[in-house]
């Protein structure tokens, strides 16, 4: 049985909170009713400044205000994201197949018409979220992307705006929180309505997306960032400790978990985390995350380690074992895998090119993260070119529909069997009495 060297002492994060849900519902309803007027009031209250739709000239001014190295780095990272997203898009093929003589079925991958990208801020300029949401949408072929980000300490975050612009956003607003999500989903006088929403955010943003799902599509339901490190006795304790804290700094409710076959490693990591935390500038977030939600689980053997890891269905899974690629066969429940000591979750968050908008709170059991496919609708089409095939399908359709007592469906099939196969049906005789002879088969 697994043994815990360190257990979580805080309550587990939840997908929704009644108090948060009620406050979000009130804001969404207000934006739905009053549009821009409501958005301005909430922006003044929560963002500390009026919302602003940035003009091309203002965007150029903000980009020019940044050091060239910052702009170059944004371009580099977006090249990585765009390159991988394009490979993903190219892997998705339209299909068309003749399933029976004269019966053609197919599907096409059709981009949504518009997407809203929420790029969080407030405390830090989270430029990487612009790469993940906007670049990926554009690689999927989305024609119009609306992007919103909150001000930081009352100022327009120039680096975030640059990332949005260089990613290809068609409309950029300095606007945050529930009011931004609601404005994009519902549309206002100043903000264009979108077909789907994407991007991470705090509990209020996540709840707004949850409530608006159905009116618009969303990428996925998100909770606090999670990291799981899977390690054996070959792992370096310092690497494990540093990488656990790299994700704990996302917030005080971000779980950081080590699952290992080595009690020696577990004890060393526990000691190192305690020594590293006091000197970490984000200790105010990482400390509570580790002490309340951090865990170290020691397993009897590798089979148990992989089983425990898979049951956790974590957002980020970093594999520090002698054979890290074993995870590709041993695990099925994860948002993203990071294989080997040369790789880390922070690369996925910031620079490597895979998408960092990933499932949390166990959602990895049923979904992956944001990718070009989330912005595509796989739409089918059907065409029966052979009248004889239509007649035969009509006969089967009639029989199958009557088993389910769907007479209207059955008659649609009957009509084709009569028209193309010469079949006779009492209900049709009644309506075609003036011309009782059925059409010739195949006519």
Q: Which of 243, 73, 287 is nearest to 162 (CA)?
A: 73
In the block, residue with structure tokens 């959602």: 363
pLDDT tens digits for the chain (443 residues)?
899 999 999 887 777 788 999 999 999 999 999 999 999 999 999 999 999 999 999 999 999 999 999 999 999 999 999 999 999 999 999 999 999 999 999 999 999 999 999 999 877 788 999 999 999 999 999 999 999 999 999 999 999 999 999 999 999 999 999 999 999 999 999 999 999 999 999 899 999 999 999 999 999 987 899 999 999 999 999 999 999 999 999 999 999 999 999 999 999 999 999 999 999 999 999 999 999 999 999 999 999 999 999 999 999 999 999 999 999 999 999 999 999 999 999 999 999 999 999 999 999 999 999 999 999 999 999 999 999 999 999 999 999 999 999 999 999 999 999 999 999 999 999 888 866 555 555 54
Rounded distance between C-alpha atoms, residue 322 and residue 318, angstroms: 13
Cα-flanking dihedrals φ and ψ of residue 105, to 5°?
-120, 150
Cα-flanking dihedrals φ and ψ of residue 75, to 5°?
-60, -40
What's the pLDDT at 437?
Answer: 53
What's the pLDDT at 241?
Answer: 98
Q: Which of 165, 173, 293, 316 is catalytic?
A: 316
Rounded distance between C-alpha atoms, residue 189 and residue 169, angstroms: 19
Q: Which of 226, 315, 341, 392 is catalytic?
A: 315
- Using an 8 Å Cβ cutoff, are 145 and 117 in contact? yes
Assigned token pair, 323: 């054979």
Q: Which of 157, 152, 168, 82 is nearest to 127 (CA)?
A: 157
Q: DSSP of 340-373, one letter per residue? A: STT--HHHHHHTSSS------TTGGGT-----GG
Angle in degrees, CA 424, 426, 432, rounded to 5:
80
Rounded distance between C-alpha atoms, residue 143 and residue 137, angstroms: 9
H or E, element range at 218: strand 217-218
Walk across the sheet containing 103-111 and list its strands.
Answer: 95-100, 103-111, 376-384
- Using an 8 Å Cβ cutoff, are 314 and 347 in contact? no
In the block, residue with structure tokens 């190192």: 272
Burial class (CB in 10 A: 0-12, 13-18, 19+), 61: middle
Q: Which of 227, 348, 341 is nearest to 294 (CA)?
A: 227
What's the pLDDT at 123?
Answer: 74
Q: How many CB atoms lie within 10 A of CB 140?
A: 23
H or E, element range at 8: none
The region, left, alpha or beta by phi > 0 then psi within -120 to 50, assigned to residue 353 is left
Q: Which of 136, 121, 115, 137 is nearest to 205 (CA)?
A: 121
Q: Which of 25, 10, 31 is nearest to 292 (CA)?
A: 10
Q: DSSP of 77-144, one letter per residue? A: HHHHHHHHHHHHHHT---EEEEEETTEEEEEEEEE-SEEEEE---SSS--HHHHIIIIIHHHHHT-SE
Q: How far is CA 335 from CA 117, 130, 197, 314, 343, in A?
A: 20, 19, 19, 6, 15
In the block, residue with structure tokens 């300095």: 174
Q: How many CB atoms lie within 10 A of CB 301?
A: 9
H or E, element range at 194: none
Q: Which are the contacts of 20, defined by CB distance < 8 A and separation ≥ 6?
A: 203, 204, 207
Q: Which of 282, 437, 344, 355 is nearest to 136 (CA)?
A: 355
Where does 17-100 show beta strands of DSSP type E? 52-53, 95-100
Assigned token pair, 89: 């898009």
Rounded distance between C-alpha atoms, residue 343 and residue 324, angstroms: 11
Rounded distance between C-alpha atoms, residue 21 and residue 15, angstroms: 11
Assigned token pair, 88: 């993903």
What's the pLDDT at 443?
Answer: 47
Q: Which are the contacts of 432, defined by CB distance < 8 A and separation ≥ 6?
A: 438
Active site residue 315: yes
Q: How far is CA 307 from CA 22, 46, 145, 233, 326, in A?
A: 38, 44, 41, 18, 13
Rounded distance between C-alpha atoms, residue 136 and residue 133, angstroms: 6
Active site residue 107: no
What's the pLDDT at 435?
Answer: 60
């Amino acid at each position: 049985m697994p043994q815990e060297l360190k257990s979580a002492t805080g309550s587990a994060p939840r997908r929704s909170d009644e108090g948060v849900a009620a406050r979000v519902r009130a804001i969404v309803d207000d934006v739905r009713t009053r549009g821009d007027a409501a958005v301005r009031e909430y922006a003044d209250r929560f963002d500390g400044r009026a919302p602003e739709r940035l003009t091309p000239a203002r965007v150029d001014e903000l980009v020019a205000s940044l050091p060239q190295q910052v702009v170059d780095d944004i371009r580099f990272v977006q090249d990585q994201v765009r390159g991988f997203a394009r490979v993903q898009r190219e892997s998705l093929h339209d299909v068309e197949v003749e399933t029976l003589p004269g019966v053609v079925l197919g599907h096409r991958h059709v981009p949504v018409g518009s997407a809203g990208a929420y790029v969080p801020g407030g405390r830090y300029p989270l430029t990487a979220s612009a790469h993940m949401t906007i670049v990926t949408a554009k690689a999927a072929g989305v024609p119009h992307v609306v992007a919103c980000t909150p001000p930081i300490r009352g100022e327009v975050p120039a680096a975030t705006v640059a990332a949005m612009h260089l990613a290809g956003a068609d409309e950029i607003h300095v606007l945050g929180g529930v009011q931004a999500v609601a404005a994009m989903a519902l549309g206002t006088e100043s903000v264009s309505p979108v077909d789907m929403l994407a991007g991470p955010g705090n509990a209020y943003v996540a709840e707004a997306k949850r409530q608006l799902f159905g009116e618009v599509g969303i990428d996925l339901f998100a909770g606090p960032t999670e990291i799981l490190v899977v390690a054996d006795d070959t792992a370096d304790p310092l690497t494990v400790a540093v990488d656990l804290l790299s994700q704990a700094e996302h917030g005080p409710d971000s779980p950081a978990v080590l699952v290992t076959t080595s009690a020696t490693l577990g004890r060393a990591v526990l000691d190192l985390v305690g020594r590293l935390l006091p000197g970490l500038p984000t200790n105010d977030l990482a400390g509570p995350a580790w002490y309340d939600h951090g865990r170290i689980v020691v397993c009897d053997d590798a089979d148990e380690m992989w089983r425990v890891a898979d049951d956790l269905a974590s957002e980020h899974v970093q594999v520090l074992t002698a054979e890290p690629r074993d995870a590709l066969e041993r695990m099925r429940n994860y948002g993203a895998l990071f294989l080997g000591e040369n790789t880390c979750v922070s690369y996925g968050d910031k620079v490597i090119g895979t998408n960092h908008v990933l499932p949390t709170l166990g959602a990895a059991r049923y979904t992956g993260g944001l990718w070009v496919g989330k912005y595509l609708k796989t739409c089918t089409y059907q065409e029966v070119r052979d009248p004889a095939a239509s007649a035969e399908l009509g006969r089967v359709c009639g029989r199958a529909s009557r088993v389910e007592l769907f007479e209207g469906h059955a008659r649609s099939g009957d009509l084709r069997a009569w028209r193309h196969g010469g079949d006779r049906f009492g209900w049709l005789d009644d309506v075609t009495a003036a011309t009782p002879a059925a059409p010739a088969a195949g006519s």
